Homo-oligomer: A and B are copies of this chain.
Amino acid sequence: MIKRDGLLLVISGPSGAGKGTICKALLEDDRDIKLSVSATTRSPREGEVDGQHYHFVSKDKFKEMIENEEFLEHAQIYDNCYGTPKAKVIENLKNGVDVVLEIEMQGAMQIKKAYPEGIFIFTLPPSLKELKNRIVGRGTETAEEIEKRFSSAFDEINKIKDYDYFVFNNEISNSVKEIKSIITSEKNKVSRYKDNILDKFREEL
């Protein structure tokens, strides 16, 4: 095994495109990838567990974490704040452990600035109609919120240009297969190893 840093997979995309579902299925399929758990000031949805789905924190606590520079990124989405605690992610990457982040699009772009070696994956709904159905079906947003989100859907999809890869959220097993191929190919990228490959052969001379 030739030494390299872990991969940082950033899975983002429009609300309702299914980044959460894809991320969950990926983690179930590949137990070696660690999930970075975000901090948020929003209320837990039904079934969400603190420390597993999110670190649910108060607005004051969140503010304190910003001041202490504990975030790799943070953003306000509508009325809620979300952030990625920095220390654990960096520690894992340095130890060669792959980390996945499921994150809103504002946050993804902050991560890209802070860590351009990250792999930025954009989840796409099969269609705009399908996207709307999913947001409505989730039943967690008000009618006004749904309209707000849908109206910005195409603008959000336009942001795909800032990403490395896209994955359609069509059939979940296929989406996971594609992300796993992306992981494999990134592990075979020459640029991720600096001189470590040459060093392996140099030792023989």
Contact = CB atoms under 8 A, between A and B. Distances in A.
A163 B190 contact: yes
Interface residues of A, number: 32
A204 interface: yes
**Copies of this protein chain in the complex:** 2
Interface stretch (A40-48, A60-68, A96-104, A179-187): A179-187
B154 A205 contact: yes
A167 B154 CA distance: 39
Contact of A158 (B165, B166, B167, B198): B198
Contacts of A128: 201, 204-205
A197 B166 contact: yes
A197 B154 contact: no
B164 A190 contact: yes
